[in-house]
Amino acid sequence: MTFYRRTDLDDLDPGDGSVNVSGRASRLFEHLGRIARAASVRPTGETAVTPIGCRRRPGRKPCKGRIRVRRLDVPSTVQWECPHCGDSGEIINVRGSEWDLGAARVPLPEDEEGQQEVKVRITEQQYGLLSALPLLMEPESEWIVAKAEPATHGDVRLTGPLDFWELLVWELAAAANHEESRTRQRRLNELCRQLGNAVEAQTGFRV
């Protein structure tokens, strides 16, 4: 059995940056928000595979599918589907919302230095760690997470301009400082070091 859901972000978003839902609804909202952000940083009309895992549990086992997204501009819609189990839906009113990380909201750096592209491969577990963080503070950091692509062996590739990486690494260090679980703190610190080292190796800049 498959589902088709139509979600209007305007119905869920109180408009003041806070999200007025809790528990299961909150997790679903986060999931759909992640899908909307992933679509907002990709070209219009193209279907793209994301590393976002499907949330369904057919036969009580987690579905192994990775969500595919397609963004349409007129009307502003994000279509999504899981190629594994067929779960699908669409999200409307993404454009201009806090889930929109497109060029209007997050312009790429203008200077050559800040534009330098850095690519880093991380594990699926590390991507899960990043995705589970509450929204990062800067949309530029979210942009890198939203742009993530699946790589071979279940890994995930993060790509973005140097300026955005600077913010992401800084915010991860802050998130690690505030993390209460020792295990998660150690993993966040490891990820932070790994990303920082990769940025330095590729650009010569220590972030």
Residues that bind Zn ion (CB under 5 A): 54, 56, 63, 65, 82, 84-85, 87
Identify which of residues 91 and 158 has a Cβ nearer to Zn ion in the complex: 91
Residue type, 76: S
CB of 71 to Zn ion, least distance (A): 20
Q: What b/e sequence results for 104-120 when a residue is b if at least 16 CB atoms lie within 10 Å of its CB, and e otherwise?
A: ebbeeeeeeeeebebeb
Q: Quote the least distance from Cβ 116 to Zn ion, whole Å.
A: 36
Tell me the closest approach of the beta carbon of residue 86 to Zn ion, in angstroms. 7
By beta-carbon proximity to Zn ion, the closer residue of 54 and 199 is 54
> Shortest gap between Cβ of 81 and Zn ion (angstroms)?
9
Name the residue nearer to Zn ion (CB basis): 82 or 207.
82
- Sequence-ordered list of residues with C-beta below 8 angstroms from that of 200, at least 6 positions apart, any chain: 206, 207
Q: Which CB, 67 or 207, lies closer to Zn ion?
A: 67
Q: Which whole-number Å values give the CA distances from 134 to 68, 128, 137, in the listed order?
A: 22, 12, 9
Assess contact for 87 and 60: CB atoms under 8 A.
no
CA 41 to chain centre: 10
